[in-house]
Amino acid sequence: MNNRTRLGVTIVVMLTCVFGFAQEKQLWATSYIDQKAPSIETVQWLTEQPKVEGKFILIDFWATWCKPCKNGIPHMNSYAEKFKENLVVIGISAENEAKVKSMKTPEINYYSALDTNRTLNTLYGIQGIPHVVLIDPKGIVRWEGFPELPGEELTSDVIQTIMDSYKQ
């Protein structure tokens, strides 16, 4: 085998390793990326129900017992404040009202609802929380997943880029 052939084989092997075996983002739910999101149906709103028409919607599925969920609440608070003109942040818990209201810290400064019958959890096929979904104004999921997943984190920059790309 000459050097040119060896180089060609090496390049093919490298590209196969990089692209052929590349893993997709790890997800503990059914993927809705680039698809119509299920409608937001809750059992009870703990805040007023938000007006979502023409807005991006960030849904955070969480629970009081979930440390990563609680660690993410300050980030959700900052997204709700920073993007308040164009983004509605909604925290959804499958726990009961007493349990959610008994959690004093961290404080949730965005819309909050209960899905005690787990309708949305079932529709999204959620197997692990926190699970966050970012929906554009046309109702299409543009980001989904565990917001602290290394290399796939949800950040203000990610939200801004998505909003710039998919605004009406």
pLDDT in tens, 124-156: 999 999 999 999 999 999 999 999 888 889 999
Q: Considering only CA atoms, which of 69, 133, 145 is closest in space to residue 100?
A: 69
State how far the Cα of 120 lies from the Cα of 11, in Å rounded to an integer: 46
DSSP H helices in the chain: 3-15, 67-82, 97-102, 119-124, 156-166
Domain holding 88, by residue range, is 24-166
SS3 93: strand
Q: How many domains in the chain?
A: 1
State how far the Cα of 87 lies from the Cα of 85, in Å rounded to an integer: 6
Entry pTM? 0.84
In a domain, 15, yes or no: no
pLDDT in tens, 57-113: 999 999 999 999 999 999 999 999 999 999 999 999 999 999 999 999 999 999 999
Residue 6 in this model has a pLDDT that exceeds 90: no
In a domain, 5, yes or no: no
Residue with tokens 């075996």: 21
In a domain, 8, yes or no: no
In a domain, 1, yes or no: no
